[in-house]
Amino acid sequence: MLQEFKKFILRGNVLDLAVAVIIGGAFGKIVASLVEDVIMPPIGLLLGKVDFSNLYINLSGGSYETLAKAREAGAVTINYGLFLNAVINFLIVGFVIFIAVKAANRVQKIVPKEETPKTTQNCPYCDSVISLKAKRCPYCTSNLP
């Protein structure tokens, strides 16, 4: 069972998936920073100096200056500003992945696939598939040219 697990882990697809997950996680952090630190501040400024990360609805009564203070007080809140940030994160990640897949598809069309060397041939007498190295057909026993 250990040998099977080792084969499974060392297969190319599993390693490729592991690398993709790690890079995807790092990419997600970059996009989150892009949205929270670069995109949302100017949008908030244009909309009247609104900080989207502090937009919330307090369900437990009382008023708090910021979401952080509401959380400290243990208030029940609906954090729709954070939800808007998450939606914008998703849209940016989706758009970047769309562009990357589109570019990869374009490259696949341009770059021809490498052909594997041919190792078999058809017997000219019986049309059976035989090795290129064969001197005699194993099916019809004809001498091959």
Q: In the chain, where are the structural domains located?
A: 11-114, 118-145
Q: Is the pLDDT of residue 126 over 80?
A: yes
pLDDT at 122: 92
Banded model confidence at residue 12, pLDDT cuts 50, 70, 90: low
Of the given ranges (10-14, 52-56, 97-101, 128-132), which has the lowest mean pLDDT? 10-14
| Greater pLDDT, 14 or 141 | 141
Assigned fold of 11-114: 1.10.1200
The string of DSSP codes covering 52-96 is GGG--EESSSS--SSHHHHHHTT--EE-HHHHHHHHHHHHHHHHH
Can you give the pLDDT at residue 13?
Answer: 74
Q: Is the pLDDT of residue 114 over 80?
A: no
Mean pLDDT of 22-40: 83
Region of poorest pLDDT, from 13-17, 39-43, 96-100: 13-17
**What φ, ψ does residue 119 adopt, rounded to 5°?**
-120, -5
Please tell me the predicted confidence (pLDDT) of residue 9.
67
Specify whether the CB–CB gap between 106 and 98 falls below 8 A. Answer: no
Strand pairing category for 129-131 and 57-58 = unpaired
CA angle (107, 25, 71) in 5-degree steps: 145
Q: What is the pLDDT of residue 129?
A: 92
Quick one: which of 62, 89, 92 has its CA closest to 74?
62
